[in-house]
Structures are given as C-alpha cells and as structure tokens.
C-alpha cells in the first residue's frame, strides 16, 4: 500500500477517449498510488457527477503489466 506505479511510456493511449484519455495520459508521468482497499487493480477517485463512468471504464483494459514500479527515495 502506498507504492507508486507509472503507466509505461509507449503505451498506446489512442484507444482512450475523453476523460479516460486524460487520466491515462496523466498516469505516464505522474503514476498512481497503490491502495489495498478493494478489488485487484481497481482505480478509484473522488466521486463527481461530471465523470462519465462509461468513458472511464475504457481504462479497464489496463493490466498490472502495463505499469512500472517507481522507486521514490524517502
């Protein structure tokens, strides 16, 4: 819990539209923080009525192998 993973550079992001594309694009340089709060590989965020869940579910095709662990010195 708390590990950072970045989407591998070179991942084909053209398959994602709208907000899903923006989120996927941000996962390359910024990454995601691993939480152990639910199902395996589940992405979560702050609830907001402006999110289109159908579009965000495009990210379901991403697998753990699409990410690299980031070593963050403490």
**Domain interval for residue 33:** 4-70
Task: Give this prediction's pTM.
Answer: 0.83
Please give the backbone phi and psi of residue 54, each rounded to the nearest 5 degrees, phi first. -60, -40
Q: How many domains does the chain have?
A: 1
pLDDT digits over 26-67, tens only? 999 999 988 776 666 677 788 889 889 899 999 999 998 999
CA angle 11, 14, 17 (to 5 degrees): 125
Separation CA 58–CA 17 (nearest Å) = 8
Distance CA 38, CA 44 (A): 10
User: What's the half-sphere exposure (Cβ side, CA atoms, 13 Å) at 68?
Assistant: 10
């Amino acid at each position: 819990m708390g590990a950072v993973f970045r989407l591998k550079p070179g991942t084909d992001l053209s398959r994602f539209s709208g907000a899903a594309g923006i989120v996927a694009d941000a996962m390359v340089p910024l990454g995601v923080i691993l939480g152990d709060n639910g199902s395996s590989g589940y992405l979560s965020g702050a609830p907001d009525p402006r999110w289109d869940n159908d579009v965000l579910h495009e990210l379901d095709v991403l697998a753990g192998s699409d990410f690299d662990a980031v070593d963050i010195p403490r």
